Amino acid sequence: MNRAELVEQVAKATGQPKSEITRTLSAMLYSVTGALAKGDKVTLVGFGTFERRMRKARTGRNPRTLAPLKIAAARVPAFRAGKELKDIVNGRSKQPTLVLSKGKTASKPAAKSASKPAKKAAAKPAKKAAKKRR
């Protein structure tokens, strides 16, 4: 799922215009990015935690020449999934129904067609025994 598909799905679920969802998603990502840049953690209970980690300096190799080269230390973003997300992904629990407000629930997003096109039975050609004439 890419950003446009996410915006479309959230708009369908909430009934809000795509333009508003796009602005909200952009603001959320901006806020998370800013917090990570400052070194803060962003925890979304049940979903997971975004944090900044330090990657140590190390020695790598140039794949063409195999010459060693130094790779500098770097700060990298990391995500650690929460228990609820892990359980849903692993099939140990079901995703709860989305409750919007005042008891309204979102309609379940349309699942992509699960039926796979039937593979044509590939008839293997009969192998002919090659007889050598002497």
* pLDDT, tens digit only, all 134 positions of the chain: 999 999 999 999 999 999 999 999 999 999 999 999 999 999 999 899 999 999 999 999 999 999 999 999 999 999 999 999 999 999 999 988 887 766 666 655 444 544 444 444 444 555 555 555 55
pLDDT of 96 reads 87
Task: Name the residue with tokens 């228990």.
Answer: 83
Count of domains observed in the chain: 2
Range of the domain at 30: 1-40
Query: Would residue 133 count as lying in a domain?
Result: no
33 in the same domain as 7: yes
57 in the same domain as 34: no
Question: Token pair for residue 2?
Answer: 């890419």
Task: Name the residue with tokens 């998370």.
Answer: 32
- 126 DSSP β-pair partners: none
Query: Would residue 104 count as lying in a domain?
Result: no
Q: How many CA atoms lie within 13 A of 24 on its CB side?
A: 12
Question: Token pair for residue 27?
Answer: 């603001």
What's the pTM value of the predicted model, to 2 decimals?
A: 0.66
Query: Would residue 20 count as lying in a domain?
Result: yes
57 in the same domain as 30: no
CATH number at residue 57: 4.10.520.10
Q: Tell me what percent of the chain is helix, strand and coil, each rounded to the nearest 5.
A: 30, 20, 50
54 in the same domain as 33: no
Task: Name the residue with tokens 């008839």.
Answer: 123
